[in-house]
């Protein structure tokens, strides 16, 4: 009997160790904790939006200033606008990511759509103050997002609930159309507005060249446009997900998690 009890204890100890290991290797765990619990993440996004407010003043004063490579022609006297991405730029979806960790599930468009429907995403620190102050200066705030058209009204509800500026006369929420590349949508806005700043957590929120580009190409483009960062193009941190991660496995979203993890490990540099 004693032997059986001893074996049972050993078995339970091994089992509980294994469980802890697998929980600790969830690739989202540290990233989501950093975004939800660290003072540094909040300090970082506040720092970024404080800096964006300074550059907004410069951009307003300089009629030749435009942040969009899609902008050309006589744009100098067009009314000013700022383009922001939505997820992890103005809306904080870390609660959805936390649900994924706790349920042991991976992202699916269905579960994300259900999350969007709840319209309870929070605010990325600094975003609301920045948008409200910019709107007061006569700047139109556009939200160019890769959420689907089916999520547009849920997104509007969420933004409205949090107090983000929305316009009655024009549509300022532009969801994904036929492409996740935001260049076409920026070009449409650029016909009617001078684009002062582009703000997002994905480099493709600022320049189309990054969208679905290899990691090598993305790295080289960062250097080509080095003077844009922090002045015309504003990037927020997102260690949870994004094209930075997808580029590691060449945007092959269908790969099983185990394969993705293997590739990620192979990309570590010692
Ligand atoms: Mg985003």
> Does residue 60 have a pLDDT over 60?
yes
Residue 121 CA to ligand 1 center (angstroms) comes to: 13
Residue 152 CA to ligand 1 center (angstroms) comes to: 15
* Residue 2 banded pLDDT, cuts 50, 70, 90: low
Residue 5 CA to ligand 1 center (angstroms) comes to: 52
Closest by CA position to 191, among listed 52, 66, 89, 85: 66
> Does residue 249 have a pLDDT over 90?
yes
> Does residue 21 have a pLDDT over 90?
no
Separation between Cα atoms, residue 139 and residue 63, nearest integer Å: 14
- Give residue 27's pLDDT: 81
Domain ranges of the chain: 29-266
CATH fourth-level superfamily of 29-266: HAD superfamily/HAD-like (3.40.50.1000)
Please compute the mean of the pLDDT values over residues 30-42 and round it to a whole number: 98
- Give residue 25's pLDDT: 67
Residue 33 CA to ligand 1 center (angstroms) comes to: 18
- Give residue 14's pLDDT: 43
Separation between Cα atoms, residue 94 and residue 87, nearest integer Å: 10
60 or 24, which is more confident? 60
Cβ atoms of residues 244 and 207 within 8 Å: no
Residue 193 CA to ligand 1 center (angstroms) comes to: 22
> Does residue 13 have a pLDDT over 90?
no
Residue 205 CA to ligand 1 center (angstroms) comes to: 8
């Amino acid at each position: 009997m004693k032997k059986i009890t001893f074996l049972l204890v050993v078995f339970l100890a091994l089992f509980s160790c294994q469980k802890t290991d697998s929980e600790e290797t969830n690739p989202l765990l540290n990233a989501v904790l950093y975004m939800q619990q660290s003072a540094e993440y909040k300090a970082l996004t506040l720092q970024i939006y404080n800096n964006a407010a300074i550059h907004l003043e410069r951009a307003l004063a300089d009629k030749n200033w435009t942040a969009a490579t899609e902008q050309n022609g006589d744009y100098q006297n067009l009314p000013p606008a700022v383009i922001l991405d939505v997820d992890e730029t103005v809306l904080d979806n870390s609660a959805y990511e936390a649900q994924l960790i706790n349920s042991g599930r991976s992202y699916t468009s269905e579960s994300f759509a259900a999350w969007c429907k709840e319209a309870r995403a929070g605010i990325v620190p600094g975003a609301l103050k920045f948008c409200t102050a910019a709107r007061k200066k006569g700047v139109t705030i556009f939200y160019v997002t890769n959420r689907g058209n089916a999520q547009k009204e849920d997104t509007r509800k969420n933004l409205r609930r949090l107090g983000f500026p929305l316009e009655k006369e024009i549509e300022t929420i532009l969801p994904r159309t036929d492409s996740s590349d935001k260049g076409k949508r920026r070009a449409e806005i650029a016909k009617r507005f001078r684009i002062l700043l582009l703000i997002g957590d994905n480099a493709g929120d600022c320049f189309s060249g990054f969208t679905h580009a290899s990691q090598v190409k993305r790295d080289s483009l960062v250097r080509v446009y080095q003077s844009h960062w922090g002045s015309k193009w504003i990037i927020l941190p997102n260690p949870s997900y994004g094209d930075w991660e997808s580029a590691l496995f060449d945007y092959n979203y269908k790969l099983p998690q185990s394969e993705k993890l293997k590739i990620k490990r192979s990309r570590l540099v010692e």
